[in-house]
Amino acid sequence: DGQMEISPDKPTEIEICSASVFYGKERILENLSLSIKEQRVGFIGRNGSGKTTLLRILAGLQELNNGKVLIDGTEVAKKRNEAIKKVGIIFQNPDHQIIFPTVGEELRFGLTQLGLSKNEADLKVIACLKQYDKVDWFERSISTLSQGQKHLVCLLSVLLMKPRVLLLDEPFTGIDIPTQLKLEHYLSSLKQTIIHVSHVPETFENYQRLIWMDEGIIQADGTPKTVIKKYRTAMKNYDEKTI
């Protein structure tokens, strides 16, 4: 029925246990518990509904006021060295993610963080660029890349580290449809678990599971078809209330 079929060696298990995040008095996530074994999972919700915060706790980048997050048993916020091997995050804006002036330096960085020498890292970077038919990008200045190309650099820099889980925060913002299709094509072939956050329902049509978040809690959790229907109805009602 159009769902993706990807067979991993062993499914990655993500456990969010009673997670709460507050900013001052504002509750962003409230006592959230979720168990995820599916390989393609979406989170949908309005702006400000806590989606980015959720990705940050999954990556171990955000302190929890309560609870914990485990990926294959590792508490990602506590064991940072293990966490960077388990989970990679791609932010909404590649300009906030990329730190080096050239593609080669950017892609090399994560690998040297994992302990590889510069030469070992460069061999992997070049092999990876070849795989995507972009070997001429090695010396390329980041500033000469389009937005979609920068997104691809972010994706490759994360994939090079071979994480078990890929976290995507609205990765299609500001890119045109052909570029989006190309990125979707790259993503669909990956064996990693993908947790993808967006406010665009169509993104998730072929996913195995979709979770709708609002005001820090889960409003619906199920197949994309049923969750999208509930979400659309609710969003329409918001419109009627606000205009």
Which residues would be at the binding site for ligand ADP (CB under 6 A)? 23, 28, 45, 47-53
Residues 141, 101 contacting (CB under 8 angstroms): yes
User: Closest approach of Cβ 77 to ligand ADP, in Å?
Assistant: 16
Instruction: Report the alpha-carbon distance of residue 195 to residue 158 in Å, rounded.
Output: 14
For residue 2, the minimal CB distance to ligand ADP (Å) is 27
**Which residue matches tokens 């010396």?**
139
Nearer to ligand ADP, 49 or 104 (CB): 49
What is the DSSP secondary-structure string of 182-236? HHHHHHHT--SEEEEEES-GGGGTT-SEEEEEETTEEEEEE-HHHHHHHHHHHHH
Select 51 or 150, whichever has its Cβ closest to ligand ADP.
51
**Of residues 137 and 203, the one with the C-beta less far from ligand ADP:** 203
Least Å distance between CB 17 and ligand ADP? 19
> What span, in angstroms and rounded, lies between the C-alpha atoms of 71 and 65?
19
Task: Please tell me the distance from the alpha carbon of residue 241 to that of residue 237, in angstroms, as a whole number.
Answer: 6
Q: Give whichever of 121 and 210 is closer to ligand ADP, judged by the CB atom.
A: 210
CB of 108 to ligand ADP, least distance (A): 30
